[in-house]
Amino acid sequence: MLNPEGTGVRPVRTIDLGSVSVDLLQIGAFRSDAGAIFGPVPRSTWEPLVREEIDAESRLLQSLNTLHVRTPSGALLLETGAIPAGERRESDEIWSVSARDALIASGADPDRLRYVVPSHLHRDHAGGLTGSGGAAAFPRVTIVAPQAEIDAVASASARARAAYDQPLLTSLFADSPPDAFLDRRQLLPEVELRLLGGHTPGSQATIIRGRERTLLFMGDLFMRPWQANPRWVTAFDDAAWVSVDAKSAIFAEAAAKQWLIVQSHELHAPLGRLEVDRDRFRFIAE
Ligand SMILES: [Zn+2]
């Protein structure tokens, strides 16, 4: 079983942005091959950075971070984790509860959400969109996704078939079609969505603006602190050069404007901000 000490559901951390608050729900953790996460980076460079974290099979410990965003205009959930609603997993590979159950445990009513916004639809981000059997986990809530991601899920490519749970998502979207957008969408007065692509064709960033601070969440385009270097992309990125350019541009904006950032798979220090560091950036935990 995955080490249960501190790796499972962690206490909810509430981030106050001024009139907007964000509950960070860490709903589980899973093991993932470190070489695949570091993509083009040589092992001799990345290994010293994670020597304490990797297990005998060179796997990193990746948190499943989800965000419950509460604005005066409504609430939304960013990410749904890997586990279907009502289920719980405990194995050597993964320890997690479902996003729906974690929301309820935090005192929220999942049926009162206005939107569910996965950063992209890979299994570890969209797994909680359904319950066991494939029924919608949030039947009264609108799922929002870029058209490019919805098209990727429907793609006949063998790579897409391996990355997405196509039968489940296809049947879910047939019953409750997602609210799709092309490049940018002002979802609520406080919430902007931007298509970035790269990691998947429809990977998106969510920008949440409170009265005092702004928070950026960009899924697996920024999963762990080392990826503050835009060139450090994962082997899972469909179009690495798109990821690098998209990260360079939005990181520059985030650093200049001192945006808070939550990383998608960082367990211990998921919240922080970026500073410019030579031709790259550095993540400063807060
Ligand atoms: Zn992921």
Task: State the pLDDT confidence band at 168, using cuts at 50, 70 and 90.
Answer: very high
pLDDT of residue 5 exceeding 60: no
Tokens of 277: 């560091």
Q: Kindly tell me the burial class for residue 229, based on how many C-beta atoms sit within 10 Å of its own C-beta (0-12, 13-18, 19 or more).
A: buried
CA of 285 to the centre of ligand 1 (A): 20
Residues 140-164 have a mean pLDDT of 96
CA of 94 to the centre of ligand 1 (A): 13
pLDDT of residue 102 exceeding 60: yes
CA of 82 to the centre of ligand 1 (A): 9
Q: What domains, with CATH codes, occur in the chain?
A: 13-285 (3.60.15.10)
The pLDDT score that the predictor gives to residue 9 is: 64
pLDDT in tens, 59-75: 999 999 999 999 999 99
CA of 64 to the centre of ligand 1 (A): 8
Residues 242-256 have a mean pLDDT of 98
CA of 85 to the centre of ligand 1 (A): 18
List the single range of 7-21, 45-59, 250-264 with lowest mean pLDDT. Answer: 7-21
CA distance 183 to 76: 20
Average pLDDT for the chain: 95
The pLDDT score that the predictor gives to residue 133 is: 87
CA of 119 to the centre of ligand 1 (A): 9
What's the pTM?
0.96
CA of 220 to the centre of ligand 1 (A): 5
CA distance 151 to 121: 11
Place of tokens 């050597």: 92
pLDDT in tens, 79-89: 999 999 999 99
Tokens of 222: 């920024």
Task: State the pLDDT confidence band at 132, using cuts at 50, 70 and 90.
Answer: confident
List, as ranges, residues with CB under 5 A of the ion ligand 1: 124, 220
CA of 19 to the centre of ligand 1 (A): 29
CA of 120 to the centre of ligand 1 (A): 9
Residues 222-240 have a mean pLDDT of 97
Q: Could you tell me if 41 and 3 are in contact, meaning their C-beta atoms sit under 8 angstroms apart?
A: no
pLDDT of residue 6 exceeding 80: no
Residues 240-268 have a mean pLDDT of 97
The pLDDT score that the predictor gives to residue 109 is: 96
CA of 125 to the centre of ligand 1 (A): 6
Residues 3-24 have a mean pLDDT of 81
The pLDDT score that the predictor gives to residue 84 is: 96
The pLDDT score that the predictor gives to residue 2 is: 57
CA of 1 to the centre of ligand 1 (A): 20
